[in-house]
Amino acid sequence: MGFLLRVLFVGISLATAVVFKQYRNLTAPMPVPDLNMKQYWGPGDVKQYKEDPSIKPFKVSYDAAVIEKLRGKLADVPKLTPPLDGVAFEYGFNTNRLQDILKYWRTTYLDKWSEREKFLNKFPHFQTQIQGLNIHYIHVKPKVPAGTKVLPLLLLHGWPGSVREFYDIIPLLTTSSKDKDFVFEVIVPSLPGYGWSQGSAKKGLSPSEVAIVMKNLMSRVGFEQFYIQGGDWGSLIGNYIATYFQSNVLGVHLNMCSIMTPLSYPKMFLAALKPSLFIDEQYTDFYFPLSAKFANIIEETGYMHIQATKPDTIGTVLQGNPVGLAAYILEKFSTWTNPAYRNLPDGGLEKYFSLDALLDNVMIYYLTDSITTSQRIYAEAFAFDELKKEIDRIPTAVPAACAKFRYELFQQIDWVLKDHFTNLVQSNHFEDGGHFAAMQLPEVLYKDFVAFIASIQK
């Protein structure tokens, strides 16, 4: 018996040692890897490529024929299947509501397209060539008295958004005000494959590779150190820039904070057992119960599985199809703003957004034929080569802030986030707001961002 106990003890000890070693291997911080800052993403052979470093002014401009062709498509809408009795947005976009929006788009909106085009051009637009791709961006320099502190800021959007999300917050950031003793010089790029930025011709342009493109863009426009604000893909890409280029990023503010490490989900499950030990009780329902949060995620992320596996198929369905494009994109501005809007016949779309603003965003996708290229980032993000990088296991000491809006699709507690954001200096909860915070609540996001910058400026 003594021998057997000894064998059992040795066996348990060895097994524990192996498990602990594997645990340490899985959870040990990782260093920043060597990065290829010149990876070529354009068409053809890189040997034939010579980068043009010039920066060219760009203007949003489309011939009347393009707009009239769109009007014709909106006038020739197929018969849409009516919604079920008593159903609002629970089955997807309510087709009665869609008919109203399509009519507005075809008549009122397109009738004033010259006005909308002028609005889209209200800020200076530019293009430059980065790693084989023509990258579009807005660049707004503040007009302030000499001696005013001007801070460079990179604003990053996601899907199915665009640079249009930031049109209401840009003036707040670039104008002097009593609530700050600084202003921002703002750079707002269209992500590669979005809007007027060229999509990759090669596999592999994942979020971590887009981070390199964005860092190169900031160098191109003259900034080696800068701040970042981002949501959705912009949040992930902003995180990666702040991880890869820690000496270049002065601060990173995100409104969709999340990380993926071997401990992130075990920690969330552990915190769910007794949330009050980990967070203020008044914010418990931002994160828990996990069953309800995961149920909502499952309901809202069917699109993600399609785009992560067959982006070109769904892209073909939507490209050049204004009816499908509007339904597919605008549905997200309903249920991602507040899941309760599924129960409203109008989807709650105009509670925070004007139809003009929503259609501006849809028009960017339609006019640039960028829906397919925009969706490919999902396939690249979930590819094995990207996942095995485990970037969130690389700690970043860059000052970080998280703005947590109540109806955001996914939230993580600070106990989880601090495994990666080791210098998380601000984490605020907001009783309203959803996924498109910059467009929905620009002043709230602005004030949270300015408070963060003021704290680290000190």
Give residue 66's identity as a one-letter amino acid code.
Answer: V
**Which positions ≥6 away from 391 have C-beta within 8 Å?**
208, 239, 240, 243, 244
What is the average per-residue pLDDT within 233-244? 98
The residue extents of the domains of the chain are 127-262+391-457
Give the number of other Cβ atoms within 10 Å of residue 195's Cβ. Answer: 23
Whether residue 19 is predicted with pLDDT greater than 90 in this model: the reply is no
Whole-number Å distance between alpha carbons of 35 and 389: 12
Q: Is the dihedral of CA 34, 388, 130, 220 positive or negative?
A: negative
429 carries an active-site annotation: no
The answer to whether the beta carbons of residues 457 and 182 sit under 8 Å apart is: yes
How high is the pLDDT of residue 14?
37
Give the number of other Cβ atoms within 10 Å of residue 411's Cβ. Answer: 22
What is the average per-residue pLDDT within 35-52? 95
What is the average per-residue pLDDT within 346-354? 98
DSSP-derived secondary structure letter, 140: E
How high is the pLDDT of residue 5?
35
How high is the pLDDT of residue 146?
86
Out of 232, 360, 392, 448, pick the active-site residue. 232
User: Reading across the β-sheet that carries 424-430, which strands appear in turn?
Assistant: 55-58, 125-130, 133-140, 182-189, 149-156, 226-230, 249-254, 400-405, 424-430
pLDDT digits (tens, 9 = 90+) for 414-454: 999 999 999 999 999 999 999 999 999 999 999 999 999 99
Q: Give residue 25's pLDDT band: very low, low, confident or very high (50, 70, 90).
A: low
Strand pairing category for 149-156 and 400-405: unpaired
Whole-number Å distance between alpha carbons of 55 and 252: 26
Q: Which helix (H) or strand (E) holds 1?
A: none
Whether residue 71 is predicted with pLDDT greater than 90 in this model: the reply is yes
Give the fold, CATH level 3, of 127-262+391-457.
Rossmann fold (3.40.50)
Q: Give residue 3's pLDDT band: very low, low, confident or very high (50, 70, 90).
A: very low
Structural tokens at position 155: 């604003």
378 carries an active-site annotation: yes
Q: How far is CA 284 from CA 278, 386, 412, in A?
A: 9, 32, 11
Listed in order, strand segments (DSSP E) in 241-289 are 249-254
**Which positions ≥6 away from 53 have C-beta within 8 Å?**
128, 129, 220
Q: What average pLDDT does the structure give for the chain?
A: 94
126: left (phi over 0), alpha (psi -120 to 50) or beta: beta
**Which positions ≥6 away from 141 have C-beta within 8 Å?**
174, 185
Whether residue 245 is predicted with pLDDT greater than 60 in this model: the reply is yes
The answer to whether the beta carbons of residues 256 and 280 sit under 8 Å apart is: no
Q: Give residue 13's pLDDT band: very low, low, confident or very high (50, 70, 90).
A: very low
Give the number of other Cβ atoms within 10 Å of residue 64's Cβ. Answer: 9
What is the average per-residue pLDDT within 290-304? 95
Out of 194, 227, 366, 378, pick the active-site residue. 378
The answer to whether the beta carbons of residues 159 and 374 sit under 8 Å apart is: yes
The CA-CA-CA angle for residues 338, 342, 343, to 5°, reads 115
Whole-number Å distance between alpha carbons of 333 and 316: 22
The CA-CA-CA angle for residues 204, 208, 213, to 5°, reads 85
Whole-number Å distance between alpha carbons of 333 and 97: 14
How high is the pLDDT of residue 8?
35
The answer to whether the beta carbons of residues 296 and 339 sit under 8 Å apart is: yes
Q: Backbone phi, then psi, for 389, in 5-degree steps?
A: -70, -25
Whole-number Å distance between alpha carbons of 334 and 344: 10
Taking alpha carbons only, the member of 174, 185, 188 closest to residue 137 is: 188
Q: How many CA atoms lie within 13 A of 243 on its CB side?
A: 29
- List, in sequence order, the alpha helices (H) in 369-397: 371-381, 384-387
The answer to whether the beta carbons of residues 141 and 185 sit under 8 Å apart is: yes
What is the average per-residue pLDDT within 241-249? 98
Whether residue 352 is predicted with pLDDT greater than 80 in this model: the reply is yes
Whether the bond between 53 and the residue before it is cis, its omega within 30 degrees of 0, is no
Strand pairing category for 149-156 and 226-230: parallel
435 carries an active-site annotation: yes
Torsion of CA 350, 354, 359, 362, to 10 degrees: -70
What is the average per-residue pLDDT within 26-31? 86
What is the average per-residue pLDDT within 214-235? 98
pLDDT digits (tens, 9 = 90+) for 380-412: 999 999 999 999 999 999 999 999 999 999 999
The answer to whether the beta carbons of residues 337 and 348 sit under 8 Å apart is: yes
pLDDT digits (tens, 9 = 90+) for 84-141: 999 999 999 999 999 999 999 999 999 999 999 999 999 999 999 999 999 999 999 9
pTM score: 0.94
The answer to whether the beta carbons of residues 235 and 421 sit under 8 Å apart is: no
Strand pairing category for 55-58 and 125-130: antiparallel
How high is the pLDDT of residue 137?
99
Strand pairing category for 125-130 and 133-140: antiparallel
Out of 125, 365, 435, 448, pick the active-site residue. 435
